[in-house]
Chains A and B, each alone.
Chain A
Amino acid sequence: MGFDRFGLKSFVSETKVEDFVTYLQQGKIMTTRCKRCSAITFPPRIDCISCESSEMEWVEIKEAGKLVTFTTLMYGPAGFENQIPYTLGVVQFSQGIKMLGQIDKKIPVEEIRVGMEMKVVPIGLFQNRFTYQFEKA
């Protein structure tokens, strides 16, 4: 089992960054930083986007970020029919990293605002699958 344990529904099973899911299972949100030029991205990647070095290291995203934008879906694609309505958002962290994910359903939609402080939290799903969601910081 590899990367196909990521998310409610997965489409990709093979990647050199499948450790991302193992870290999720350990309760950590990790991404990669280049050992040579220090470029950091999310999603993680094994080949540096800036200098093309393949010497990367995993670093943890610990601090809270700010919600940049969000939308609530009233119709879902295949595999998400039972999830609706759900809210997706983009959260900006330091060093220019942004992540897309679902916003905690416990937060009433009318309370969600662009600019609100959010943290990213790993969560376990059914059948040994893992994902993350955004919660109030």
Chain B
Amino acid sequence: MERDVAIVGVGQSPFMRKCGISIGELCFLAFKEAKEDINLKNEQIDASIICSATEYDKQRSPAGVVTEYLNLNHRPTFCVESLCSSSSSGLRAAYSLIKSGLHNVVAVIGFQKMSELTSSEAAERMGRSGDVMWESSFGLTMPAVFGMLARAHSATYGTTEEQMAKVRVKNSTYGALNNKAAFRNKVTLEEVMNSRVVVSPLKVLDCCANADGAVVLILASRDIAKRITSKPIWIHGLGASSSPATLARRETYSSIVCTREAAKIAYGMAGIGPEDIDVAEVHDCFTIAEIINYEDLGFAKPGEGVKLLEDRETYLGGKIPVNIDGGLLCKGHPIGATGAGQIRTIVRQLRGECDEMQVKGARIGLVHNMGGPAIYCFVTILGRD
């Protein structure tokens, strides 16, 4: 497999409930860190891609002010959006720009300052997450979609609320170690089970929470990557897919078809299978999502995701460690930054920089990132070699 495009720099702001700074300042924290270990001047960044679910921004078309604050003028910039997977869309676009030869170095800048919205503005947007023509008129919300997936998975495979809660317990083990996570408290099964119900059967601690945060990824073509860093991490596979936005038109509710499709494409492009993955980040917006993701990504057979978790195979030291940074559940979920944040974790795992969270000898990693109520899905496979 040809290695043409590498991730050469990664940086992340802390993920916070309320950052108290401007979006430019927030992005700068991540941008500065992304350039720390590499020999690269701003003038060598040919283009930037700003990733944001812009319905959360006060700034209309945020690419302008963010690029200006980072001193990336007069190079080209544009904004991409696919809700919670905006920065995976950005990575895909950056890969294409480099692979086509149009640019050599591209910065992917994902951010969200969700605290900019008042709670009533947030409630208004919450009511427009689904198909606004046919389904929002019933009061459908994003958590409700995952409540329905949870119920369907239970009805099909007998998954219990306690088993779902175990995902939060696992992820909080690692969130506690992540100094950039918004929620660093280690939680017990009882605490998850006793938290109040939000959308049955899901409780507060089964759900991730909004956050402010920014992540920057710097991508480069083969020759430049080798010149500016001793630890390039190569893009081996990029899979992407979509599912109907209208929930009534989904084939199944106990599995997410766009994940299965995106995974198939990514594994095919990388020339590997799920058994070859050493470490993974999966989109755990809700505990049930992580269990379903195990199955759709091929880490477990359909209905056996819970067993993989209960056998501790997705813990550090298991067969396929997953979300060894706390996941969205503990890091918090600044929509436009989330996918790039997952990529950053895997890049650092493959570089061997994760200290007590390190998966020993990790060579190939996978990132799974979904947008909206599982409308969009991106699966990215990265490798050290």
Contact = CB atoms under 8 A, between A and B. Distances in A.
Nearest to A7: B137
A43 B134 contact: yes
Interface string A91-123: 000000011111000000100001100000000
18 contacts: A9-B139, A11-B128, A43-B133, A43-B134, A43-B246, A71-B148, A71-B202, A73-B143, A73-B147, A75-B199, A77-B139, A81-B123, A83-B139, A98-B248, A98-B250, A100-B135, A101-B138, A114-B152
B138 A102 contact: yes
Contact of A77 (B124, B134, B149, B198): B124
A72 B200 CA distance: 5
B140 interface: yes
B148 A90 contact: yes
Contacts of A26: none
Nearest to B203: A74
Contacts of B247: 90, 100
A73 B148 contact: no
Contacts of B134: 43, 100
Interface residues of B, number: 39
Contacts of B148: 69-71, 88-90
Nearest to A133: B138
B248 to A, nearest CB: 4
B197 interface: yes
Interface string B122-157: 011011100111111111110110011111100100
A43 B147 CA distance: 22
B41 interface: no
B249 interface: yes
Interface in B67-117: none
B3 interface: no
A58 interface: no
Contacts of B133: 3, 11-12, 15, 43
A72 to B, nearest CB: 4
Given A15-B133, A78-B127, A101-B138, 19 more contacts: A8-B139, A11-B137, A12-B133, A41-B249, A43-B248, A69-B148, A71-B144, A71-B150, A71-B200, A73-B139, A73-B147, A77-B141, A80-B127, A80-B139, A86-B139, A88-B138, A100-B138, A100-B247, A131-B138
Contact of A69 (B128, B249, B253): B253
A100 B135 CA distance: 7
B226 interface: no
Contacts of B197: 72, 74
Interface residues of A, number: 40
A10 interface: yes
Interface of A: 3, 6-12, 15, 41-43, 68-81, 83, 86, 88-90, 98-102, 109, 114-115, 131
A89 B147 CA distance: 10
B39 interface: no
Contacts of A100: 134-135, 138, 140, 246-248
B199 A102 contact: no
Contacts of B131: 43
Nearest to A101: B138
Contacts of B136: 7, 9, 11, 77
